[in-house]
Amino acid sequence: MTSDLNRYSVTAISSLGHDLIDGPIGRAKRQWEAVVDTLPQLICMVDGSGRIVRTNRTFERWGLGGVKSAIGEDFHQRLHPYCADPDCYLLQHVDMVRMANFATPANGLRVYDEQLLRYLRIHLSSLNQTGQRLGGENRFSLFVAEDVTCRAGLDRKASASEEKLQLLVDSVSDLIVQHSSDGTMHYLSPASITLLGSTPQALLGVSLFDLMHENDRDVVATRMTHIPTGESVESNTFRLRRSVGDWRWVEARTHAMVNTAGNYEYVTIMRDVSDRRREEELALEYSKKLEHEVAKKTSQLTMVIDMLKQQIEENDRDWISLEALGRRYTSLVENTLTGIYLQQKNRVVFCNQRFAEIFGYSRDEISGMELRQLLDDVNEPSALPDVDQGAYITMSSANVVEGWRYDGTSIWMKMSQSRLENDEGVFVLGNVIDVSEQVRVQDELRRSEKAMHHLSSLLIAAQENERKRIANELHDGIGQRLSAIKFSVEDVLRSAEGSASAQSLERLHDVVGKIRDTIEEVRRTSMDLRPSILDDLGLVATINWFCREFSAMFPWIEVIKSVGIDEEALREELKVVIFRVMQEAFHNISKHASAQRVDISLGLRGDMLVLKIHDDGCGFILDAKVLNGPSLGLKSMRERAELMGGAFDIRSGFGTGTRIEVCWPGTVAFSEFN
């Protein structure tokens, strides 16, 4: 932003502000001041007596105090409140009174301000209007200060002594190379060790172009060696080969000069940008776009006066569009199927037609009512989270609450709320949806599930009773008859010995063996259906018997059991469930697990009865296909456990075995739980 542009723009807007404070030009003036406030430079308008008339927001950003409080203050005392130096540059070289009295523009002044701790580039100009007589009443001057601390640091280093410059060259991480037009390097800074992996002495006489990647060499060499004397080429990006053979991306700047012998030489400064090359490219692209936008906005500021009429017309069109948008919003609110309301200080201050229809009131009747008259469990504004002024909070999760219609009938609503705060106060914005039919269907579904649960319980009980009946018939009926047949055949065999042929006796012995096997098979079938030991001796004896039988049938599987319960207090129906879960789990282990060890434990954990069965088999992947597949084993175990109020959990994986854990609360497991 040049000082001429500042002088023209500020003067133009100030003059128009006196003529039309509240008119179009006044609004344009305020827009221009907002733009000036965004500039990074410190801009102060000072009158002929050295007092501040106006300044931009940079005054606050530099820590000099408020913009409004600065108006009318002495310019020097405001910028240097603690300055007692008679040689202060603001007094010696930045004489704002002189600039106001004499319309002579001052050249840029570059100083280090010890009070502001900044390097500044200062531009001074008079704001006397063209054609105004010098010494007139309307005398102002403009002070524009730009923070050039970074550039000033470079200037100080550039003006240092040759010894300090050499020390700087030796210490910087950038590689500095002096070379001829054919690339032969005559000097390298010590940074070559880090960047190229070689000492400067090892690279003297080597062509810089030979170290470049072949795809970059021609273009970079042309740009480096076709530079007029005293000029430079910047932002050359190419690859250099290190001594170990890998490549590094560097960004180079080359400067052309003539040495004392009258020959062209080049100084190239290279920086390693391998790790951030893409970030630099993106930053450069963004910087170019930003510079383009700044230039575009700057050019537009000079035409602000001519554009006022167009701005007014656009504002009128925007107002028409806003009214149309308001009508569309009103139509949306009124025609939605969701009831919408606005609550302030516990009372409804607005609702749409759908909200009134849901509760059977008119909108006028609902206005002013407390929401608790319509709905239960309503959050008050004080219970909502605090938010900043003018901010919104997203809708809360929907809650289902009960409400009442005008005729007293009960309805169920899904309700969401949010806190809204604006210039008119704090509000609660909410919406409700009538879900009475959904609640009714869910109640019916819960009753159906309860009935199905009861039916399943009866079915399992009937199944156990049928198993018990069949087991008793097999044991007491068929088993005893087979035993009688066996005894009869053995009597015949003893009577026939000595008189019958050896072949007949052998056949009778075979018949006795088959009958004995059949009796054993009937006994096993009876025990599988319903082991009589469970009814006669109890669960603990049944578990011990079952583990012995399993070990006898599968001797390669070691069974480790641990039972620690008071069986007398255990509910009878739960004993059957525990046995069936154990029976099904051991059946799956013998059939699928390829296990060598099974651990089973039954005991208390806190107030819970816990059954755990763990094998070291091959395991399997638990997924929906397994859990919901055609196999009834897992489903049967889970259903039996849950019907008795338990929680069934199974965990498995390839190579980790399978772990089954069933937990029953003590109040469910024991008839009297202490």
Query: In what order do the strands lie in the sheet containing 52-55?
Result: 52-55, 42-47, 140-147, 118-126, 106-113
Q: What is the pLDDT of residues 528-548, one digit of tens each?
A: 656 666 777 888 888 888 898
Q: Whole-angstrom Cα distance, residue 520 to residue 531?
A: 14
| 329-343, 377-391, 449-463: range with lowest mean pLDDT | 377-391
Instruction: Copy the structure tokens of residue 213.
Output: 């990647």
pTM of the model: 0.34
**Which residue type is seen at 640?**
R
Q: What is the pLDDT of residues 555-575, one digit of tens each?
A: 999 999 998 887 787 887 788
Q: What is the pLDDT of residues 595-636, one digit of tens each?
A: 999 999 998 888 888 999 999 988 887 765 655 555 556 777
Q: Whole-angstrom Cα distance, residue 39 to residue 349?
A: 45
Q: What is the pLDDT of residues 54-96, one digit of tens each?
A: 899 888 888 888 888 889 898 888 888 888 888 888 877 776 6
pLDDT category of residue 250 using cuts at 50, 70 and 90: confident
Classify burial at 197, counting beta carbons within 10 Å of its beta carbon; exposed 0-12, middle 13-18, buried 19 or more: middle
Whether 587 contacts 634, CB under 8 Å: no
The single residue listed with the structure tokens 């030991």 is 533
What is the helix (H) or strand (E) element at residue 582, kind and residue range?
A: helix 572-588
Residue 529: what pLDDT? Answer: 59
pLDDT category of residue 380 using cuts at 50, 70 and 90: very low
Kind of pairing, strands 597-605 and 558-564?
Answer: parallel
Residue 389: what pLDDT? Answer: 41
DSSP-assigned letter for residue 210: G
CB atoms near residue 42 (< 10 Å) = 23
DSSP-assigned letter for residue 568: G
| Coil, helix or strand at residue 629 | coil
Is pLDDT larger for residue 109 or for residue 66? 66
Whether 17 contacts 29, CB under 8 Å: yes
Q: Whole-angstrom Cα distance, residue 52 to residue 74?
A: 6
pLDDT category of residue 437 using cuts at 50, 70 and 90: confident
Percent of the chain with pLDDT over 90: 4
Average pLDDT of the chain, as a whole number: 75
| Coil, helix or strand at residue 181 | coil
Q: Looking at residues 362-387, what average pLDDT do you find?
A: 65
Count CA atoms closer than 13 A to 269's CA, side-chain side: 11
- Give the contacts of 105 (CB within 8 A, at least 6 positions apart): 3, 124, 125, 126
The answer, yes or no, to whether residue 12 has pLDDT greater than 50, is: no
Is pLDDT larger for residue 653 or for residue 331? 653
Residue 63: what pLDDT? Answer: 87
pLDDT category of residue 512 using cuts at 50, 70 and 90: low
Q: Looking at residues 21-35, what average pLDDT do you find?
A: 74
The answer, yes or no, to whether residue 290 has pLDDT greater than 80, is: yes
| 38-47, 163-172, 210-219, 583-592: range with lowest mean pLDDT | 163-172
Residue 390: what pLDDT? Answer: 42
Residue 601: what pLDDT? Answer: 92
Residue 22: what pLDDT? Answer: 60
Q: What is the pLDDT of residues 629-669, one digit of tens each?
A: 555 567 778 887 887 788 888 888 888 889 999 998 876 66
- Give the contacts of 75 (CB within 8 A, at least 6 positions apart): 44, 46, 50, 51, 52, 90, 96, 143
Count CA atoms closer than 13 A to 107's CA, side-chain side: 2
pLDDT category of residue 296 using cuts at 50, 70 and 90: confident
Residue 231: what pLDDT? Answer: 74
Instruction: Give the angle subtended at the CA of 387 by the CAs of 381 and 391, to the nearest 5°.
Output: 105
